[in-house]
Structure 1
Amino acid sequence: MQPAISVSNLVKTYASGFQALKGIDLHIRRGEIFALLGPNGAGKTTLISIICGLVKPTCGTVLADGHDIVRDYRAARSKIGLVPQELFTDAFESVWDTLKFSRGLFGRRPDPAYLEKILRNLSLWDKRDTRIMALSGGMKRRVMIAKALSHEPLILFLDEPTAGVDVELRRDMWEMVRSLRANGVTIILTTHYIEEAEQIADRIGIIHHGEIILVEDKHILMRKLGKKRLTLHLQSPLQRIPASLADQPLTLSADGNNLIYTFDAHGDTTGIAHLLRQLNDLEIDFKDLHTQESSLEEIFVNLVGRHK
């Protein structure tokens, strides 16, 4: 199946000489939620802006639903909805008029029932006649989402959509995103809240210094690069790790009350069994234990740190 978004050898160099993107190759599958992660200045917004036709690439090819975003701009752009980081909209227009205008801008026939559905899903129906300038920041963010959906796009970009918004809007937004995916819409998400990407994304891409350093299915990524930690709460504190355990991936907490054993998330448990036998031979008793897996955020930080 043809990808929803296909990016090949994409380069962007600004007039200052700064190279924001360095030969990006990226293919985003139809109907998936793809999280694009990266530190500030990594190139996330530049990449999204080029795909959405807002910034001209230096070289390379981008296809949106099979349409070249340069040679066939109108057809490509009509497939895309964009919720940008910044709140850009006509402050003097009403919510309803903003959505009607945006839908018409893409050549869509009027469909009041569809627009009503969007507004109700985003808890905006009772604000439909309110001028945007009178709305709170969270409500304006909802309007930007509704505006991006007004022309029924097949591809939706959410660029830091939950930055500075309340918990209720985040919950509503992720429910809506899951519903859109169920209806075949492809979602591309950037976020600083990496736990959100961990909860909702199907695949993860990491960009750093204008280069894609990793693209992987989320569950495979967590299994391949994640770590597990077994924490043993000791009966009596240790001053140091015994020399006979020096070959084990162990650390001792600062107060000496906990031994932490780190192992691959996809590894077997034979190492744990061996460790427990060693502790028993050394007469080191513990009163409790628990395991914890790496979060996506920890994996992200380690990957970016290694790439530096």
Structure 2
Amino acid sequence: MTAPASPQAVDRRRVRAVRGPSRPDGGRGTAPRRRAGSRTPWLYLAPALVVLGGLLAYPIYQLGLISLFHYTQAQVSGGEPTTFEGFGNYAGLFADEQFWQVLLATVLFAAACVVCTLAVGCALAVLLTRVRAVPRLALMLAALGAWATPAITGSTVWLFLFDADFGPVNRVLGLGDHSWTYGRFSAFFLVLLEVVWCSFPFVMVTVYAGIRAVPAEVLEAAALDGASQWRIWRSVLAPMLRPILVVVTIQSVIWDFKVFTQIYVMTNGGGIAGQNLVLNVYAYQQAFASSQYSLGAAIGVVMLLILLAVTLVYLRLLRRQGEEL
């Protein structure tokens, strides 16, 4: 008959059982080895990356290359040799006062479009959660119809609605033969309405899907605490939907900064004396109307760099706030 184990021995056995068997390396452990199948996802993504590289990387390379040469209609037709200008096209562009005026107008117009699109889209997304099934379906179909309408078709319809002679808007408001496209600010406002009309459905559908994923208990608790609808959105929904709002904001910035069709169609190529020019239309005029292809390419490169900078700065600010994207 063996003597009973001491309490100290029992405690050591329990600790050993929890820790598991001792390792020959003294418990230091080794670094986990890289799995052999960790490259498998990249193999699946390789075809898509090759296609995207051909569709995006090569055109961007050609755009940057053309912007470094003196490339006009004479070079296209072969009448004159192509000469290397370096950053001469960019120097001439930055010395042009009209370029800075167009850039400022583009930034302000795009900012107004983004703010209005997000406001309308988020408000209607919240409304979709408050109405019954039939009104919700009708609103969804109407919004998707606006989203699916081609930009040139939507621009033509909005021009008819605000037409000085036959437009129903002037008749309802009693404005007579007021021309909305004659003044600079009224023309920009008309284009803004069309841009928001064709852009808010993306924001509405995306934010609505995010709201539906929020647990109902969270919203009920906020309502029981006496929070208003605006307070619920600002303090509960907006922080939880921040990753989704980041996506729709960046998409809206990119789309609205490079608006072309609406401005070109609704202001007849940029308005009277170019008062409604934006960078995309300005680049088109320089490249094709004036046959200054290298200057148009330089404007395109500047637009690309601005959009990349805005996107990277926005993502960096969110990373500093601890957001995971």
Higher strand share: 1
| TM-score with structure 1 setting the length | 0.20
Task: Give the greater-gyration-radius structure (CA).
Answer: 2
Higher helix share: 2
